[in-house]
Amino acid sequence: MMKDSNPLQFDNIMALESHLEDRINTPLYMILKANLVTFIIQVLGMSFDEETILKVASILDTNTFDVRLPDASTRLRAIYVTASMMNHSCKPNTRHVIIDNDHNFAVIATVPISKGEMITTTYTQTLWGTLDRRQHLRSNKCFDSVKCFWGNKALSEELRKLKKDNPLQFEDFITKYSQTLHPNNHLVVQAKLALVQIYGNCKGCTLSELPDELLKRKIDLCNELLELADILEPGWSRFRGTLLLDLQAAMTVQTKRDFEADKITKGDAQGQLMESMTLLQEAANILKVEPDMRLQIENKIKNLARQLEDAD
């Protein structure tokens, strides 16, 4: 339809890489030949040939971005012609956000980028293992990254089956494989990130309900993952921003408990709360462009400022 309503945009999109020659004989595209092509030509009555229809499908598979609306009610696939030209890197120097109701695409530098330096994004997820990233790039983007050895898919499946609101299962997973997997193995990291999200946020595990040892566990996990973030996604990444939010919240609760238990002085408590505020302000600077985070951050800043006032 765009060919008639906006021919220039149609030409721009059709000029994007499709990799149709790599997909044409795959099982998925054999199904598309039988169903999608038939539907468009016979049911919709549109006068496009099979190759054009499959090329459009392949262009979508190669170039679209995942768009999630702030209320998490809808997920879309969208093509941003200029942004799709960015090269992939497993250690990108930008991140992107979709802003306002018009779904504008904003590219944000996460580290300083020198003049003439390539601007990169990632076509995968940073915390995926190398094997998973390679498989995704091969099947969805039709290119290979560096070679590596195949790992144990059984462990990935075991991790996937863990209940997302049961911290003991993730703790057991980490303990079980502590002697066989590196602490920064992608499966261990995913388990640690799950624990950070569970501790303090799930029913029965809110920050006020966590015992002291689990509160400290959350703080330690946040610091471990922040060190990893500096390696995998250096700079102002969303990964770093969300970890800082979790860390400062846990630190604030720990400070309050220690002060009420006379473990620290009033001056120490004020200093620790100021440290939490510094972390929160950094998180706010990183995440202020994320539409779904603004209200949460504003409320956290207000609450922490109130606690600082009470500590004076």
- Structural domain of residue 42, as residue ranges? 1-63
In a domain, 171, yes or no: yes
Round to whole Å and give the CA distance between 170 and 190: 9
In a domain, 248, yes or no: yes
Distance from the Cα of residue 92 to its chain's centroid: 13
If asked whether residues 207 and 291 sit together in one domain, one would say yes
If asked whether residues 145 and 42 sit together in one domain, one would say no
Q: What does the angle CA 218 – CA 160 – CA 170 come to, to the nearest 5 degrees? A: 30
Give per-residue pLDDT as tens, 104-156. Answer: 899 999 999 998 888 888 876 666 666 665 665 556 655 455 433 354 677 88
Q: What is the mean pLDDT of the chain?
A: 86
- pLDDT at residue number 133: 57
Contact 280, 239 (CB under 8 A): no
Round to whole Å and give the CA distance between 39 and 164: 39
In a domain, 84, yes or no: no
3-state helix, strand, coil in the chain (%, to 5): 55, 10, 35
If asked whether residues 50 and 198 sit together in one domain, one would say no
- The structure tokens listed for 183 are 């602490």
In a domain, 197, yes or no: yes
If asked whether residues 294 and 150 sit together in one domain, one would say yes
In a domain, 279, yes or no: yes
| DSSP-assigned letters across all residues of 24-86 | TTSHHHHHHHHTHHHIIIIIS-----HHHHHHHHHHHHHH-EEEE-TTSS-EEEE--TTGGGS
Of 35, 63, 91, the residue at which a domain comes to its end is 63
In a domain, 121, yes or no: no
Decide: helix, strand or coil at residue 248. Answer: helix
User: What one-letter code names the amino acid at 115?
Assistant: K
The tokens 């006379």 sit on which residue? Answer: 262
Contact 221, 273 (CB under 8 A): no
- pLDDT at residue number 143: 47
- pLDDT at residue number 146: 41
- The structure tokens listed for 312 are 């004076």
If asked whether residues 46 and 148 sit together in one domain, one would say no
In a domain, 195, yes or no: yes
If asked whether residues 184 and 269 sit together in one domain, one would say yes
Round to whole Å and give the CA distance between 194 and 174: 11
The tokens 């985070």 sit on which residue? Answer: 293
Cβ atoms within 10 Å of 214's Cβ, excluding its own: 19
If asked whether residues 45 and 135 sit together in one domain, one would say no
Query: How many domains does the chain divide into?
Result: 2
- The structure tokens listed for 110 are 């996460």
List the CATH number of the domain containing 147.
Answer: 1.25.40
Decide: helix, strand or coil at residue 214. Answer: helix
If asked whether residues 26 and 144 sit together in one domain, one would say no
- Please return the burial class of 2, using the count of CB atoms within 10 Å of its CB with bins 0-12, 13-18 and 19+: middle
Give pTM, 2 decimals: 0.64
If asked whether residues 49 and 134 sit together in one domain, one would say no
In a domain, 76, yes or no: no
Of 43, 63, 83, the residue at which a domain comes to its end is 63
**Considering only CA atoms, which of 70, 79, 73 is closest in space to residue 105?**
79
- Beta bridge partners of residue 65, listed in sequence order: 78
User: Strands, DSSP E only, in the chain?
Assistant: 65-68, 75-78, 87-88, 94-99, 104-109, 120-121
Of 40, 63, 86, the residue at which a domain comes to its end is 63
- The structure tokens listed for 88 are 């992939």
- Beta bridge partners of residue 302, listed in sequence order: none
Give per-residue pLDDT as tens, 196-247. Answer: 999 998 889 999 999 999 999 999 999 999 999 998 888 999 999 999 999 9
What average pLDDT does range 32-43 have in this prediction?
Answer: 91
- The structure tokens listed for 125 are 């997820």
**Across 83-87, 251-255, 279-283, least confident range:** 83-87
Give per-residue pLDDT as tens, 44-75. Answer: 998 889 999 999 999 998 888 888 776 667 78
